[in-house]
Structure formats: C-alpha cells, structure tokens
Amino acid sequence: MGPNLGFIEPTIALHYVFNSPNDKFVFDVSHQCYAHKILTGRKEGFTNPDLYEKYTGYTAPEESEHDLFKVGHTSTSVSLATGVAKARDLKGENYNVVAIIGDGSLSGGEALEGLDNAAILGSNIIIVVNDNEMSIAENYGGLYANLSELRKTNGKAECNFFKSLGFDYLYVENGNNIEDLINAFKQVKDINHPVVVHIHTLKGKGLDVAEQNKEAFHWIMPGTLDKKDDTHVVMSESYTSLTKDFIFNKVKEDRTTCVINAATPGVFGFNESFRNLLGKNYVDVGIAEEHAVAFSSAMAKQGAKPIFCVMSSFIQRTYDQMSQDLCLNNSPITMLVHWGGLSNADATHLCSFDIPLISNIPNMVYLAPTTKEEYLAMLEYAHNQNEHPVAIRVPMGEIVSTGEKDLTDYSKLNKYELKEQGETVALIGEGRFYNLAQKVKNELKEKQGINATLINPKFLTGIDEEILENLKQNHKIVVTLEDGMLDGGFGEKVTRFYGNSDMKVLNFGGKKEFTDRMQMNELYKRYRLTKEQITEDILKLV
Amino acid sequence: MGPNLGFIEPTIALHYVFNSPNDKFVFDVSHQCYAHKILTGRKEGFTNPDLYEKYTGYTAPEESEHDLFKVGHTSTSVSLATGVAKARDLKGENYNVVAIIGDGSLSGGEALEGLDNAAILGSNIIIVVNDNEMSIAENYGGLYANLSELRKTNGKAECNFFKSLGFDYLYVENGNNIEDLINAFKQVKDINHPVVVHIHTLKGKGLDVAEQNKEAFHWIMPGTLDKKDDTHVVMSESYTSLTKDFIFNKVKEDRTTCVINAATPGVFGFNESFRNLLGKNYVDVGIAEEHAVAFSSAMAKQGAKPIFCVMSSFIQRTYDQMSQDLCLNNSPITMLVHWGGLSNADATHLCSFDIPLISNIPNMVYLAPTTKEEYLAMLEYAHNQNEHPVAIRVPMGEIVSTGEKDLTDYSKLNKYELKEQGETVALIGEGRFYNLAQKVKNELKEKQGINATLINPKFLTGIDEEILENLKQNHKIVVTLEDGMLDGGFGEKVTRFYGNSDMKVLNFGGKKEFTDRMQMNELYKRYRLTKEQITEDILKLV
C-alpha cells in the first residue's frame, strides 16, 4: 500500500515519457507496480470487488506485455534490467531499459552486484531509485546516510554512492511532482550510458493514515481502511507472542543474546516498542539475508547468543552462507524459520522449499515442533547449546498445547517420539501435519479397525534408525506426512532407509511446482493431503 | 600463490601492530593467509615436503587459535568480522577486529551487504582492502574505476566508494612497504569506529614470473615453478575444449549468444585470447553469481542466448536467483555446471551438493551426460530450445566417446535410456557413475551370472515413470548410483517412486557431510562406492 501510493506520480511520468512496452520497465519486488497495472489495462482489478483476485500484487508477464518478469523477492530489478539491456545490445535493437528500485532494496547483495555491473554496461540503462526513506521498517546500512546527504544537498554532495560505482546521476527532490519527474525522465530518455535517477518520494502519499503510519501501511489487509486503529492482523499471533516472550527473557538474563532479522520485523511481531525495548540486542541488517547468516555465525563463534528470525521464502537467499559461513563452522546459532509450509501464497512468496533447502546441509539441525511445549523446549535447547546450528520451523496458527512441559533432551539428535504404539501402519507426521497424522489414524481405526502407530519425528535433518528398524517387526506400511515439497525433503530420507526391506512407504506432501494463490483446500486435494485421500491410499496397500 | 606473495609485508605489519589472537584477524577466501600461517606456528607446512599436506590452503580454527573461521568461498570476511565485533561489544570486551578482503572479492553480494552493515557498527572494526588490481583474472564492475581513481589520487578523491558507505578511510600507496603499513595500522589500532585501510599491493610480489603472469599464477600446481612455461594444468581439458569449440561456433552463428561467468574464467579454460576472440559476447560479471543468474535469465527472456558457466561449489551462492529470477520465469538459459561430483577437495570447495540444490527447483531441467556425444547433443538442445532453464553437469576427466552421434530428443523430458535390457537387477548410473554401473554389471555377471539391466537416466530432475514401471515385471532390485550427496538427490526420487511396490531399491552416493581433502579411493570405500562393495550389497538382497 505505502510504496504504491508514493509511486503514483512517477508511474504516470514514466508512462508519459517512455513508450512501454517498446521501452522496458523492470520493477523490483513489484511493490511499486499498482499504478503501472492500473495504467496498463488492469484497473478493474482495483475498482471492481469481484475482480480483486484477478491480478497478482506483483508484475506478471501472463497478465500484460508491459510486465517483463514475475518478481516478488527483492533487489532483483537492476540485474534483470542489465540482462534486458545486454540482449538489446547484442540484437542491435534500440530502446530504453528502466529499472525501478526502492531505497530499502538497495542493501541486498543482488542489487549491489547488479549496480556494480549495470554501471559498466556502456549503453542505455536508467535506474530509477525510488527513495521514500524507508524499507518496510527503517532502513539500516551505511549507504542510507549517503542517500540522506544527497537529499540534503539536492543531489550535489561530492561523495555519492552511485557516482562512486560509475553512474551518471540526476536528483529529483520532489519525486511526487509530475512536471519535475517528466523533465528528469526526458533528460535521460535515450541516454547512451548508465544513469541513476534518484527521486525523493513520500511513502503513503495522499492517504493521511498511511503517511503517518508508514510501517503499518507498508501492507494492509482488506478492510483495514474501515477500521484504521486496528492496522494489522498479525499472523500466528500466539506463537509470535511466545517467541517474543522467550527473546525478551533471554535478553534480560544474558546481555549477549541478540535477535537478528533482515528488514521484515513485522513478520515476527517485532513492533517499534519491542525493538526499542531490546535496544542493542536487536539488529535489523536491512535487506541482507546473506550478511545476517554470516553475522550470526560469527557472533555465536565468539560466544554470543544470536537468534536469527527469517521467513521460509527468504531463507532461500542465503544457501551458501548457511553452508559455508554457518554449517562448515558449526556455529551454534538459533534460526527461527517462519511460515514454512504449503500455503495459498503468490508464486513469488511460497514457503514450501525450506525443508529440502535447509535439511540437506551437513551439520544443520532442523526441528519441527508440533505443540507450544515442544516449541518452548526446542527454543531452550537451541539457545543454550554450543554444538550445532539449530533451526526451528516455527508453528503457525492456533496454539496447540498439551499443558505438560516437554522434557525431551534434544541434544540427542534425530530421536523421534513414538506417541502411540500400534501395528500394521505407522504414521509419521511432521510439524503442522502431525495433527493430520492423528486424523488419519482415527480414520483407519473407524474404517478398518486398524490401530496405527503414531510418530512425531521432531527432527527434519535425520533418521531415527532405531525406531524405524523396530517398525519392521509388526508394520507393513510407513506413511510420512510433510508440510512442504516432497522432492529432496523429509519423507524421502525415510523411504531411502527402507529401500532394502519389505516395508512399503508412502510419502505425502507437495509436488515440485510453483503454485500461485491456490486455495488451501484445493492444494490439499491436488496433493492427496486430505485425511480421506491419505486413508484411501493407505488402504489400497493394506 | 599470487595473492599470498602480494600480502607478505601486510601480514608482517598486521602481526607487528596487532596482538593476535587477542585481536582478531578475519581472512576472506583465505587466499592471503599463507604468510599468516607461517608466522603462527605452521611454517613447516611450507618448508618440509613431507608436511605439505598437513595444513589446508585456507584458515582453519582446528589448526591454530589465530584462525577464526573455516572459509574458502569469497566475500565473507566483512560480515563475519562484523559478527565478531558485535559479540565483543555485547560481551563488553575490548579488542581490535580486522577483516581482510581483496579488491576482487568486493563485488560479491555478501561483501557489499557486509560493508553496508559494518559501516554502522558504531565501534571498532578495521577493514583492510588488499587492492592488487585484480580478481583471479581482471576485475569487472563499476567500483573498480573508483578504486583506480583512489589509487591515482593517493586516496584523496572526493567521491569514495567506502566513504559513501560511511567508513572512515585511509590509503596506503605502497602496500608492500612494511614501514608505511606499520604506520597506517598504528593509526587505526584501537579506533572507536569503522575504518577502511585501502592498501595498494602487487599480486605475485617478489617472484618475477608471478608478477608478470598474474592470472596464471593466481594458483599453481606443485612443480609449476620448475617448468615455468607450462604454467597450468587445466582440468578436464578435453571437455573444456569441446565446450569452447561449441561456444565459439555458436557465437559465430548467432550474435546473441553470450557466455557469462563470475570471475573464474580459468576453470572453464577461457584464457585471455579466447576472451578477446568472443569480445562483447563474453561477460565476466566479477565475483557476483547472483547477478550472473538474474542477468542470464533476463537476456534469455529478451531472446538472446546466454550460456552461464559456473563451478558446482559456487552455484550454491545463487539458489534464490535460480528459483525466483530464473525458474519462476522459466527463462531458457544454458547453465554449465563444472566439477560436480565427489572429490578430494578442501571442505570449503566441495562440489557434491549441486544435484540436491539444483534438481529440486521447479521448472529446472538438469542433465547429466555420460559421453562426448551426449554432451554435445545436450548442448545443442539446451542452446536451441526456448522452453526451460537447462543445466548440464559437464563431465570431467578423459573424454568418453562412442563415435556415434546422439540423436536423442531431449525436449521429451525425463526419458531415461535403457542401454542394456536384463533382469533381476537394474542399475541406474548417473553421469560419471554410469561407468561404475557398467562395472557392477560385469561383476554381477561374473560372480553370480546375473544379467543386470543398465540404464542411463540423463535427467536428474525427474523420474521416467514408464521405464521404472516396466522394471517391475522382471526385476527385484533397482540400484541408483550418483556422483554426489544422497540426501535430497537423484536416487531418493527413484526410491520414492517404488515406495508402494515390492521393488527393493539401493541408493549409492555420498553421505551428508563436509569431507576435507580425502583421497578419492578412501572416499569411495567409505561410501561403499567400489564395484566390489556395491556388488556385495546387491547380492545380499538377491
């Protein structure tokens, strides 16, 4: 909401001066693309309630020839635009390539790599830096002092981040003034070398409540404007408050406890008052997940107690740092992975790949709690131990509580919990899908009188050979249920274990694909993840 | 070799001024750590031929308290040092933290994210930029013009990349002069804020042939100095020349063909004359793998023909870009993954994770050729098609040739090739391990008269359900052999397919672990990857 409101005039000016789709606009995160969508034939998606779902919140080539890429992760536009420009040059074509990037996105490694390369392209590329003085929350990083200096000096400061990379440079102080913007864009149209047009805009422009509550109005839920005081519905609020309480207590107990996140504090419920409360024990690294992991690893190596909070979709941005900086050094950090699981998210923000991504890196311990008590015990274990990098897949939704403290010793790795001993069929349900396993158990009992065994694996990074071996005695079928993509995931490890035996194994989970805003019940049906479908598939084998 | 020779005087000056291990040195890639190792009790590893293998070429905490981290991938030191400094501050300790980074490594996203964050640390951190005017090959990127300007002006240029990020800054023109360095380091010792000490050094300093052949002497093989004209043993030279010939012909045919790499042209045999030959159809993006993938994806989307060459170990640096910029947009690039497989490499440069990493991303096609003819056919297919991102695991070692052109239509995805029809046991050997499968087939025949079926899967990203289904008719055991880590890899997909059947499946491959300079025959034995061990395991099940 906020970024889009601040980018209306620039969008109009861009479309006025440039000739899309002949000239190419490449958006970043697409957080500034709503006005662009409205101007390119898709306004009914914003005005007709029946069509609100018709268009994505991101640029989407399948919707319009004016959208070049499907994007939703940040800091990509400059690299993509550089590729567009290079293709143009090799083909001997002639048009303008315009990358749009917000100031918050500049701190991401891909953006910085892209800028460094765009600067030496040697031909037309126009980088519009939409500087609204904010990321989702505050900006963090040294370059923001330079942007501030450039704003103060009307772009005249000698020491200029963009010029230091080799860009030509133009500053527009009133980035919400259409005439000023048109003049600036006309100046750079058909330019024969890389140029940055740095425009100063107002996040939330034109909507008082959004101008005044910039962070809360970065994104809003439908209906929010009708009840302005209740600005955000925080997802998984209960597990969120558990996490915050845990962090707060640990910081009080131990001044080396430090919570780290990469520019998405809202995802974890870290509002401004909580951030202030934590003080120097809170670090927002800006959009810089790679740095966040290396930084956390080094802190732990020096005896501090980092807790890195991250969304499943964005942990993808830091595989090599998890492998090299973290796991190769076996640094005992706590990593809290949020929103992991199948979801109705946009294709750009899926959270179903974290198990394959994280659990196949050596030395990593990835835990999946199924209840509040397990979550708290795992948090304690992860935070207090000094042996391994430990990631926890933070549960979502309503709190599940047994009321009994979990006394498990999680330092004994890969010990699954045999919750209910039965026979013939064993159900292994991971995280949120433990509950599903319970339901299938009930179905099997009701339909065929089968008393299935129920197992909570807790560990996603390994196999409990003892439990699995014992199942061979009086079980014919082992069923794994995982809330994520099957390929490279948890279930396949179980199946591999049984490869040389007579045990039948069925793996339930998601298919390797990018889904796009699919209803959860449809998704579950497609993957045969309803209790009825699972039971049916099991009974075929019994 | 070259980076180390250029960093001898700075290392002496650092150890003279600072008090390691109380003060902390964090090296980047460790390419500058040999003198440091010699000064910290490990000189016999450099002087006694019997002990050449005793120490790694990288910093290694298990060797010395003067080494903080195990590192080998580039661009990590600033982030790691920032974490060390933050831990120091939270613990209320007091020492200097010194990050060392080469100019070539500055272009990596993690380094840039790290610099942006280090600059606002608010306490002591000293970044020594070792500027020898080179990456492994030439530097690429806009920031190198700024470094050049700083060198020309003795550090006085107003527009200064480091200052634009907020750093204090000091320049040392003669970075191989010990007195100058001691003076500079004394100036910044115990400084209370972030500072960059930019030192100008000479790569290869003191060894004429290395000063004159900077790229060739970046690294050398043992014995190279005794035969100075033959500077490099290029690995997999034959497949290298095949690849170069293919690229050269495609560039001649189609001016939109463009080969991209990230600062490691030597790995692919792209020497200076070849690079000059390709001209604008050759792009070295510098150390910037994330940019390389996004850039290639965008080029393909605009109708150009990018071929991105990368080492298996470094493809890890760009998972999110493969997922989001590339595969979500389904851009038809060709990606040539080199050195993929189990190896005797240092723990920091393992190449055994690329199958799990790449093959579980939707839309990606990952091909594994077993012969020259297959490789050439796959190259043609990948380059000419417009449907998918296609990665090829470039074979290593001696060329294997059938002499018969491969006419396979690779646009029919996931079609395995049934090479020899047999019974009871089916052997599926991927890439380099197809040959191993053949040997096992011979063993089975000799030892038990079993006429095993032999399959070349060719595709690592999916299952040929038809072939696998047919095997059920007269086979009891399916065996997969993959040259990489088993967890999340190829074999597990096959095993999952058979989970609901009576088929026994054995997966052979590497274990999930970081190995370190292990002899290949030891490694194979540990993983039961000799033909004898595999045969033994199969016969247990027959």
Contact B504 A499 (CB under 8 A): yes
Q: CB of B355 within 8 A of CB of B490?
A: yes
The answer, yes or no, to whether residue B341 has pLDDT greater than 80, is yes
**Average pLDDT rounded to a whole number, residues A299-327:** 96
Q: CB of A322 within 8 A of CB of B111?
A: no
Q: CB of B37 within 8 A of CB of B55?
A: yes
- Residue A291 tokens, joined: 């740095």
pLDDT band for A212, please (50, 70, 90 cuts): confident
Question: What per-residue confidence (pLDDT) applies to B236?
Answer: 43
User: Could you tell me which residue, A234 or A70, shows the higher pLDDT?
Assistant: A70
| Each residue's pLDDT tens digit, A134-171 | 888 888 899 999 999 999 999 999 999 999 999 999 99
Question: What per-residue confidence (pLDDT) applies to B389?
Answer: 98
**Average pLDDT rounded to a whole number, residues B312-334:** 96
**Average pLDDT rounded to a whole number, residues B317-328:** 96
| Each residue's pLDDT tens digit, B370-413 | 999 999 999 999 999 999 999 999 999 899 999 999 999 999 99
**Average pLDDT rounded to a whole number, residues B130-140:** 87
Q: How far is B312 from chain A (nearest CA, A)?
A: 12
The answer, yes or no, to whether residue A117 has pLDDT greater than 70, is yes
Question: What per-residue confidence (pLDDT) applies to B309?
Answer: 98
Instruction: Tell me the sheet residues that pair with A392.
Output: A336, A367
Q: How far is B517 from chain A (nearest CA, A)?
A: 14
The answer, yes or no, to whether residue B302 has pLDDT greater than 90, is yes
**What percentage of chain A carries pLDDT values higher than 70?**
98
| Each residue's pLDDT tens digit, A49-107 | 999 889 998 999 999 999 999 999 999 999 999 999 999 999 999 999 999 999 999 99
Q: How far is B42 from chain A (nearest CA, A)?
A: 21
Is B397's Cβ below 8 Å from some Cβ in A? no
Average pLDDT over chain A reads 94
Q: Which member of B166, B304, B502 has the closest CB to residue A90?
A: B304
Spatial distance between the Cα atoms of A513 and B323, rounded to a whole number of angstroms: 11
Question: What per-residue confidence (pLDDT) applies to A415?
Answer: 98
Best B253, B289, B291 member to test A by mutation, with max A CBs in 10 Å, is B291
pLDDT band for B136, please (50, 70, 90 cuts): confident
| Each residue's pLDDT tens digit, B203-230 | 989 888 888 888 888 888 777 777 655 4
Q: Which member of A140, A324, A329 has the closest CB to residue B120?
A: A140
Q: Which residues of A316-353 are buried (b: 16+ CB within 10 A; e: fewer)?
A: bbbbbbbbbbbbbbbbbbbbbbbbbbbbebbbbbbbbb
| Each residue's pLDDT tens digit, B453-465 | 999 999 999 999 9
| Each residue's pLDDT tens digit, B505-520 | 999 999 999 999 999 9
Question: What per-residue confidence (pLDDT) applies to B29?
Answer: 83
> DSSP secondary structure string, A48-110?
-GGGTTTS-SS--TTT-TT------SSS-HHHHHHHHHHHHHHHT----EEEEEETGGGGSHH
Q: Judged by CB atoms within 8 Å, which residues 456-475 of A form the interface with B?
A: none
For residue A85, the number of C-alpha atoms closer than 13 Å in the C-beta half-sphere is 29
ipTM of this predicted structure: 0.93
Average pLDDT over chain B reads 94
Best B120, B198, B257, B295 member to test A by mutation, with max A CBs in 10 Å, is B295
Contact A285 B329 (CB under 8 A): no
**Average pLDDT rounded to a whole number, residues A247-266:** 95
Is B224's Cβ below 8 Å from some Cβ in A? no
Question: What per-residue confidence (pLDDT) applies to A233?
Answer: 47
Q: CB of B130 within 8 A of CB of B175?
A: yes
- The dihedral over CA atoms of B520, B522, B527, B531, expressed in degrees to the nearest 10, equals 80
Question: What per-residue confidence (pLDDT) applies to B215?
Answer: 84
Residue linked to tokens 């001209």: B279
Indicate the burial class of B21 (C-beta count within 10 angstroms; 0-12, 13-18, 19 or more): middle
Best A196, A291, A460 member to test B by mutation, with max B CBs in 10 Å, is A291
pLDDT band for A2, please (50, 70, 90 cuts): confident
The answer, yes or no, to whether residue B176 has pLDDT greater than 90, is yes
Q: How far is B112 from chain A (nearest CA, A)?
A: 6
Contact B141 A116 (CB under 8 A): yes
> DSSP secondary structure string, B362-419?
TT-EEE---SHHHHHHHHHHHHH-SSS-EEEE---SS----SS-----TTSTT--EEE
- Residue A508's contacts (CB-CB under 8 Å, 6 or more residues apart) are A433, A479, A480, A481, A482, A486, A491, A527, A528, A529, A534, A537
The answer, yes or no, to whether residue A232 has pLDDT greater than 90, is no
Q: Judged by CB atoms within 8 Å, which residues 175-194 of B form the interface with A?
A: 194
**Average pLDDT rounded to a whole number, residues B26-30:** 89
- Residue A526 tokens, joined: 């497609």
Q: How far is B116 from chain A (nearest CA, A)?
A: 5
**Average pLDDT rounded to a whole number, residues B319-347:** 96
> DSSP secondary structure string, A31-49?
TT-HHHHIIIIITHHHH-G
Q: Which member of A164, A321, A324 has the closest CB to residue B164?
A: A164
The answer, yes or no, to whether residue A230 has pLDDT greater than 60, is no
